[in-house]
Amino acid sequence: MIAEQVVATVTDPELPMVTLAELGIVREVREHGDGVTVTITPTYSGCPAMESIRADIAGALRTAGFGRVEVRTVLAPAWTTDWISETGRRKLAEAGIAPPGAAPRREAGPVPLTLMPRPSTVRCPRCGSGQTEALAAFGATACRELRRCLACREPFEHMKEI
Amino acid sequence: MAFDDAYGALTDHDDDARWAYGTGFTDPLAGVPAGFPEGVDRAGLAAYCLMLGDDALIMSHRLQQWVTRAPELEDEMALANIGLDLLGQARLLLARAGEAEGAGRDEDDLAYRRDPHEFRNVRLAERADADFAHLIARLLVLTTWRLALFDRLAGSRDPMLAAIAAKGVKELTYHRDYAARWTVRLGDGTALSHERMTAAVAEVLPPAAELFQPHQIELSLAAAGVAVDPATLRAEFDTVLAEVLTTATIDVAPGFSATAVGSPAATPGSPAATAGSPAAAAGSPETAASGRDGEHTEALGGILAEMQGLARAVPGGAW
């Protein structure tokens, strides 16, 4: 198996239903003469899973027989939820987590203040209704918020656009 | 990974990752191409990274102290997440400071083995919160200022600072929104919440003058295109604060502005220095010295005693 295929099987430690590649965390897998170099990027500055992600990728490659494995980190360009693939979004939705919409576009000038929650188009991952409301801006991790479906009344998580 | 034993699961890796404080973690800049732009004073860059890193580290610790004390579980999650983002920014900046310094100190050395006078955070970051309104007022001021700063720093000639800042902007945007929304909710809430939020803002604004006093290192690095002169952040800070406070129906003082905040006109005892005026404490000793020079309030000692206690008692300890 080539290195890229091995790395493509490694799942996210916090969201085990999706792979690191589907989340856009894996930026590059490069095979060279005597080993593999994998480049990853953190989702958030304080992401506590980075150590574990590095270890999981290196472990998978070693198990597959790759000798010298190097996992590099890049900080720029900063990760955005726009990098989550279509497959990744489908898997998130199937697991009950509403996938993110398009990341907010930045206009020129100072970062705008948002005093009121923006009107949302988040659909309930269970019944598909577009009538949902935010319950809490932060969920189990910084990347998720808690919402509630007004049609089926079920609470669910939504991965926030960033 | 088995989750029967939570502690076992945390350490269930085939490498040497350890979930103790500090020492088990990999350098957050591991594998990030390191380099320094030409003509940049490395010692100055190290000092500057320490300033911005310490701001985040100390404020993160204050936020963590609110865990189990927040008014609602949802807010506990929010404060913990904001604290975690800031801790991440602190780790990157302290690691960069160590690299630029070139004396072999890593993020742990800088976080756990420095004394209070060696910390370079602004004093507002270490200030204890009398109540939730004070925390929100402080968070509003610090995140508004830091977001304006990082937005400009994203254009730094130091590629590492630029990358850390660009990433931080995304996080600080929702940190500021969180603080701003709570300011409005409390300010435009009940009579009691309005009174307490107004009092908190009036107490937090005067010491905020320190945020805009440029340090010599900031000025020389700003001239080199690496840092941001904090004095240039005032206009944006004023605009944002005015929008939030107006919406929150908080009237701190007629003609409030950051210029008035730092105004030396309000000396203690003068008519302008009566309670409730944002300029009341402008001339107080708290703003006379700067945390950027290592001049701190007593509060920092308490924070460090808590934060560094274990690391100092058991150097290199892990479990």
From first to last of the 319 residues of chain B, give the pLDDT tens digit: 444 555 554 444 444 444 444 434 556 776 666 688 888 899 999 999 999 999 999 999 999 999 999 988 999 999 999 999 999 999 999 999 999 999 999 999 999 999 999 999 999 999 999 999 999 999 999 999 999 999 999 999 999 999 999 999 999 999 999 999 999 999 999 999 999 999 999 999 999 999 999 999 999 999 999 999 999 999 999 999 999 999 999 998 644 554 444 443 333 333 333 333 343 344 444 445 699 999 999 999 999 999 999 989 988 777 6
Phi, psi of A145, deg, nearest 5? -120, 160
In a domain, A155, yes or no: yes
Is B279 in contact with B266 (CB distance < 8 Å)? Answer: yes
Residue whose structure tokens are 């939820």: A81
Domain range enclosing A145: 84-102+118-159
Residues A40, A95 within the same domain = no
When scoring A11, A57, A111 by the number of chain B Cβ atoms within 10 A, the one with the most, hence best to mutate, is: A111
Residues A62, A19 within the same domain = yes
Residues A45, A66 within the same domain = yes
In a domain, A78, yes or no: no
**Domains of chain B, CATH where assigned:** 40-312 (1.20.1260.10)
Residues A10, A40 within the same domain = yes
Using an 8 Å CB-CB cutoff, list chain A residues near B178: 137
Token pair for B282? 């402008």
Residues A90, A27 within the same domain = no
CATH number at residue A53: 3.30.300.130
In a domain, A49, yes or no: yes
Is A161 in contact with A81 (CB distance < 8 Å)? Answer: yes
Question: In DSSP terms, which residues pair with A32 in a beta bridge?
Answer: A35
Residues A15, A47 within the same domain = yes
Partner residue opposite B13 with nearest CB, options A55, A115, A135: A55
Cβ separation of A113 and B176 shorter than 8 Å? Answer: yes
Residues A51, A94 within the same domain = no
Residues A31, A59 within the same domain = yes
In a domain, A112, yes or no: no
Residues A19, A44 within the same domain = yes
In a domain, A27, yes or no: yes
Distance from CA of A23 to the nearest CA of B (A): 17
Cβ-Cβ contacts under 8 Å for B45 (sequence gap 6 or more): B36, B100, B158, B161, B221, B226
Q: How many domains does chain A have?
A: 2
Partner residue opposite B147 with nearest CB, options A46, A111, A142: A111
Residues A88, A54 within the same domain = no
* Whole-structure pTM value: 0.88
Residues A149, A97 within the same domain = yes
In whole angstroms, give the CA distance from residue B62 to residue B126.
7
Cβ separation of B28 and A58 shorter than 8 Å? Answer: no
Residues A137, A88 within the same domain = yes
In a domain, A107, yes or no: no
DSSP structural state of residue A53: H
